[in-house]
């Protein structure tokens, strides 16, 4: 989830990491934070992917 020095971080991972750090700074319950994020992930439809050529 965290970026590696010298390599770009996936945009989704960057957003998730930023959110986790922001919530941690607010001292919200870690269990509540994880439940909220997993609920959001479960409710989000899969993104479209390109069909393989061949």
Which residues have CB under 8 Å from 19's CB, separation 6+?
Answer: 37
Question: In this predicted structure, what is the pLDDT of residue 24?
Answer: 72
What are the boundaries of each domain within the chain?
1-43
Are the C-beta atoms of residues 13 and 1 closer than 8 Å to each other? yes
Are the C-beta atoms of residues 40 and 19 closer than 8 Å to each other? no
Question: In this predicted structure, what is the pLDDT of residue 16?
Answer: 78
Which residues have CB under 8 Å from 37's CB, separation 6+?
Answer: 16, 19, 20
The pLDDT profile of the chain, 54 residues, written as one tens digit per residue, is 455 555 556 677 777 778 877 777 776 677 787 788 788 877 776 665 666 676
- What is the reported pTM? 0.36
Question: In this predicted structure, what is the pLDDT of residue 1?
Answer: 47
């Amino acid at each position: 989830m965290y970026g590696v020095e010298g390599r770009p971080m996936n945009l989704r991972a960057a957003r998730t990491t930023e959110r986790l750090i922001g919530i941690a700074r607010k001292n919200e319950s870690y269990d509540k934070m994880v439940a909220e994020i997993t609920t959001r992930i479960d409710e989000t439809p899969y993104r479209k992917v390109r069909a393989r050529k061949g």
